[in-house]
Amino acid sequence: MFSTYAHKLRWSYRKNWPDIQGILLKKYPDFVFNSSPSSLENQVPVFVFHSVDPITFEEQLLYLKKNGYRTLNADDLLQILKGKKTLQERSVVLTFDDGV
């Protein structure tokens, strides 16, 4: 039983090492750890997805929704960049690259 637990722990550590390393080395932007929207002042985080696991993606979308984030489409972002629209707090952009 212990060996099964140890195996699962090693597997989980290996699988999540890039995220663990990113957290430890502070490679993530401040807004990831800061609950104050002012940490993003006039910035829009852009999340670029190259492959999407449906369950993980749903969890990520639920996190954004539960934490008050709103997604912008390309037209909204362009209008904001041109100064024709006001940037709302906790706005993010999601993009998808099919890699083809």
Distance CA 94, CA 100 (A): 18
Judge if 69 and 54 occupy the same domain: yes
Q: Same domain for 23 and 2?
A: yes
Residue 56 has pLDDT above 60, yes or no: yes
Strand order in the sheet with 91-96: 46-49, 91-96, 70-72
Specify whether 50 is located in the same domain as 66: yes
Under 8 Å between Cβ of 85 and 76:
yes
- Whether 71 shows a pLDDT value over 60: the answer reads yes
Same domain? For 54 and 82 the reply is yes
Domain count along the chain: 2
Tell me the percentage of the chain whose pLDDT exceeds 70: 82
Residue 3's contacts (CB-CB under 8 Å, 6 or more residues apart) are none
Q: Which domain holds residue 20?
A: 1-29
- Residue 23 has a CB neighbour count (10 Å cut-off) of 13
- Whether 13 and 49 map to the same domain: the answer is no
Residue 24 shares a structural domain with residue 39: no
